[in-house]
Structure 1
Amino acid sequence: DQARRYKINGYKLASSLQHLKYGLAIYMRNELSNYIELPPTEDGRTTTTSIKLGTLTIVNVYKPPESWPKPALQKPNHLTIYVRDFNSHHTDWGYKVSDANGEALTYWMSAEDVHLVFDAKHHGTFWSTRHTREYNSDLILVSTDRDGVPIRASRHVFPVFPHSQHKPVIIHVGIEILMMVVKRVPRCNLGKVAWDSFEAKMEKIRGIPPTPKNYDCFVVLLISAGKNNIPRGHRKGYIPCWTLNCKNLQQYEQSEDPAAASAQLNTLDAARRQRWIECVESLDFTHSSHRAWGLKRKLGAANPVVAPDVKVKPNAIAAYLVANSKGLLNKQYKQEVKHQLRKVMTACPESSTLSTLFSSKELATILTAMKKGKVTDKDGIPPDFLHHLGPRTRKWLLDLWNSLFFKESVPLSM
């Protein structure tokens, strides 16, 4: 009857305890068979079901909203993980105040050297429809090994489960080395560009008159010269603080020796601790606090930036501009503006900037003022390319700008 009523595809019922109001069950994947079911316990105030999987014991705990017995739970004789609903309030796991059950549970944890797996940044594991807020009634407790080190475990709380106020919680037990996954997008490394070769190729610009209609050809030539001389690649996946001493992990994968795994993790922890110390010691609030505040924001300690509630949205502004820009062109007004512009330019004295061509000095000043490393404009030309143009290419650009100024036309791609 149990196999029929409590069936889950791909899993088998390993241990269970029925009750009129509540029940406990532990399921195992069908391919796992090396487990031992331990006898359940029920004393009216605490109910547990347990299994032993290899060297690890998993205890499923449920305590009704009553006081804990003394001792609260059985003493862990070996590696043990306690999970499920403890119905105890304490500030250590997110409650505003601690009650008697929370104090009793923390006293037992301190006496038996049991540790809590908890992250204050995660959501609560229980959603109360009565109080419309989250709580952390479901806890994860781990014992320590022979060296006094707690079992390595982490948890992840998922959204609300259908037809239940309790949320699913995934627990990762054992060695878990963070692997940074980076999107494999090719990027240009402007710090390693062969600028001499780039300049030499651009100096071969010949047979292209500096006119507005040839600007697109100039852009294609410039980008082509850049791609041929800029190394492009992507950042590979990596493990933070991975050193040459961390190759013992390969030995652990082959031999599954716990000592090799512990040495591997201790090496990683030492390297990460040293990097953290160096990062904190290098922070400087006196001259530049940008890096310090950036680190604080990454740690989640800074106040989140709340965007103002703007009633006028960008899409509404764009739609308004598009709707009003489709009016009929007044050709007579356009011709009148051009006529007035020619009249003003003709009447300008020779010393006026409107009557003289752009000089090479002005072009050099503009190119020098452009900041490197900025995003490209509509034409897709990085500012770094314009900084490394040769004399002939700069002369071509100067003639182009003078042609644009006096012919009163601008390319669409500019």
Structure 2
Amino acid sequence: DQARRYKINGYKLVSSLQHPKYGLAIYVRNEFSNCIELPPTEETTTSIKLGTLTIVNVYKPPTESWPKPALQKLDHSTIYVGDFNSHHTDWGYEVSDANGEALTDWMSAQDVHLVFDAKHHATFRSARHAREYNPDLTLVLTDGVPIHAPRHVFPVFPHSQHKPVIIHVGIEIPVMAERQRGTVLKARWKKQISRIPPTPKNSDRFVALLISAGKNNILRGHRKGYIPCWTPNCENLLRQYEQSEDPAAASALLDALDAARCQRWIECMESLDFTHSSRRAWVLLRKLGAANPVVAPDVKVKPDAIAAYLVANSKGPLNKQYKQEVKRQLRKVMTACPESSALSTHFSSEELATTLTATKKGKAAGKDGIPPDFLHHLGPRARKWLLEFFSGVMDTGVIPRI
């Protein structure tokens, strides 16, 4: 019954502690086989050993006090996590209580390090007092060098006053993402262009076809992963560690990576020069966060307010009869227009080429969402479609709404 009740898909229950008012449980992913349960040392803790790391899950009821010593110290790499229910100014409380003092005294005597950042979210929000506290702590056994265990608190968790805390144990090598740019020349504009009649009512279909061809043929949002300062020596050390799992190889890999990063930092600082190219120097400072951020001025009148005022006051009364009369007169003039008139002649391919060449590249797209670079690289079929389309607009007098 307990196995069915406490089951979590993808995880196995390794250690648990039953109590009428509270309980403790440690789950481990199914792919971890080197995990064993350790015998309990206190009534309020349960612990496991995962590889060379010992994880101790702690819960102290609010009504109870810490014994002396507060917890048992283990001889190997250990991380203590859980709800300690102790108040101390070191982890965000305004006043320290007896439990907080007892816990800090034990930490100082046993060389245990507190993982806490005051800038992070609190781990518990009391619905009764509408305030946030930090009863959930993370302690690591140092043994001279603290275990690298950065901690992140998520802002909310459904149906609970406690918030989830993610702890990454060990040193991680960051993998950066480099964006690969695409080119408009890779788009194939001939796709299905001949199936769309060049009439004014099909302008939306033509625009949708251009955008679809661009999305299907131009790389966008593709990022290539890489590790900064990664050298062939680092690659060899990584391959050696994967084959032998020797900690010395891992240490040598991290040392080589740190040395390469240090050398790159020195070269970057030495090349920082405002004399020849101040732009590159300021770009570097902005990336490092040392430059003052650009603050937008606090404008009293917003652009939306101006636009709303213009729209509200620029619309005069509309005379529908006059509008219909203008349209009737326009159709009459367009029908009586002689064939030799310059207004009735179709556009030429030279005129279209001149117009497309005059558009500036790299500008923002218009209402239809087509960048000018797309129009510059239109093929012969697409240009012929545009010629027939614009000539049809002049023949019929029908202009698409967009």
Scaled to the shorter chain, the TM-score interval is 0.5 to 0.7
Partner of 1:189: 182
- How far 1:130 moved relative to its partner? 1.8
Amino acid at match of 2:249: A
Partner of 1:150: 147
Q: For 1:74-97, what per-residue CA distance to the aligned partner results, in whole angstroms no more than 9, with x for missing partners? A: 44422011111222334554x252
- Pick from 55, 58, 63 the counterpart of residue 55 of structure 2: 58
Provide the rounded CA distance (Å) in 2 between the counterparts of 1:33 and 1:393: 64
- Answering whether residue 15 of structure 2 is matched by residue 14 of structure 1, we say yes
Unaligned runs of 5+ in 2: 296-307, 309-319, 337-342
- How far 1:129 moved relative to its partner? 2.5
Partner of 2:362: 372
- Change beyond 3 A, Cα 1:167–1:402: closer
Q: For 1:360-399, what per-residue CA distance to the aligned partner results, in whole angstroms no more than 9, with x for missing partners? A: 8999688646451534653x64311334679999899689
Provide the rounded CA distance (Å) in 2 between the counterparts of 1:50 and 1:215: 68
- C-alpha contact 1:17 1:49 (8 A) present in aligned 2: no
Partner of 1:256: 245
Provide the rounded CA distance (Å) in 1 between the counterparts of 2:254 and 2:360: 48
- Which aligned pairs between 1:15-414 and structure 2 lie closer than 5 A? 16=17, 25-27=24-26, 32=33, 34-41=35-42, 47-63=44-60, 64=62, 72-90=70-88, 92-93=90-91, 95=92, 97-100=94-97, 101-102=99-100, 105-106=103-104, 108-109=106-107, 112-118=110-116, 123-144=121-142, 148-152=145-149, 154-155=151-152, 157=154, 159-160=156-157, 162=159, 165-174=161-170, 176-177=172-173, 189-190=182-183, 193=185, 232=219, 235-236=222-223, 238-241=225-228, 243-245=230-232, 246-247=234-235, 248-266=237-255, 333-337=323-327, 339=329, 368=358, 370=360, 372=362, 374-375=364-365, 377-378=367-368, 381-387=370-376, 404=393, 408-411=397-400
Amino acid at match of 1:336: V
Provide the rounded CA distance (Å) in 1 between the counterparts of 2:213 and 2:5: 66
- C-alpha contact 2:114 2:139 (8 A) present in aligned 1: yes
Aligned residues: 352
Amino acid at match of 1:334: Q
- How far 1:132 moved relative to its partner? 2.2
Amino acid at match of 2:38: E
- C-alpha contact 1:58 1:81 (8 A) present in aligned 2: yes
Provide the rounded CA distance (Å) in 2 between the counterparts of 1:367 and 1:110: 75
Q: For 1:34-88, what per-residue CA distance to the aligned partner results, in whole angstroms no more than 9, with x for missing partners? A: 525234236xxxx444444442222233344677566554444220111112223
Amino acid at match of 1:57: T
- C-alpha contact 2:115 2:151 (8 A) present in aligned 1: yes
- Give the TM-score of the pair, scaled to structure 1: 0.56
- Change beyond 3 A, Cα 1:38–1:377: same
SS at match of 1:40: coil
SS at match of 2:242: helix
SS at match of 2:398: coil
Q: For 1:307-354, what per-residue CA distance to the aligned partner results, in whole angstroms no more than 9, with x for missing partners? A: xxxxxxxxxx9xxxxxxxxxxxx79843434526988xx9xxxxxxx9
Q: For 1:96-116, what per-residue CA distance to the aligned partner results, in whole angstroms no more than 9, with x for missing partners? A: 525255466456545644333
- How far 1:238 moved relative to its partner? 1.9
SS at match of 2:138: strand
Amino acid at match of 1:40: T
RMSD across aligned positions (CA): 6.1
Amino acid at match of 1:173: V
Report percent identity of matched pairs. Answer: 49
Provide the rounded CA distance (Å) in 1 between the counterparts of 2:208 and 2:163: 56
- Change beyond 3 A, Cα 1:34–1:340: closer
Provide the rounded CA distance (Å) in 2 between the counterparts of 1:333 and 1:28: 75
- How far 1:139 moved relative to its partner? 0.8
Provide the rounded CA distance (Å) in 2 between the counterparts of 1:53 and 1:227: 47
- How far 1:275 moved relative to its partner? 7.8
Provide the rounded CA distance (Å) in 2 between the counterparts of 1:221 and 1:165: 51
- How far 1:136 moved relative to its partner? 1.7
Provide the rounded CA distance (Å) in 1 between the counterparts of 2:201 and 2:35: 77
SS at match of 2:81: strand
Amino acid at match of 1:35: I
SS at match of 2:79: strand
- How far 1:402 moved relative to its partner? 7.4
- Give the TM-score of the pair, scaled to structure 2: 0.58
- Change beyond 3 A, Cα 1:173–1:227: closer
Provide the rounded CA distance (Å) in 2 between the counterparts of 1:52 and 1:181: 35
Q: For 1:277-322, what per-residue CA distance to the aligned partner results, in whole angstroms no more than 9, with x for missing partners? A: 969x9899x97989978987xxxx999xxxxxxxxxxxxx9xxxxx
Provide the rounded CA distance (Å) in 2 between the counterparts of 1:34 and 1:219: 59
Amino acid at match of 1:254: Q
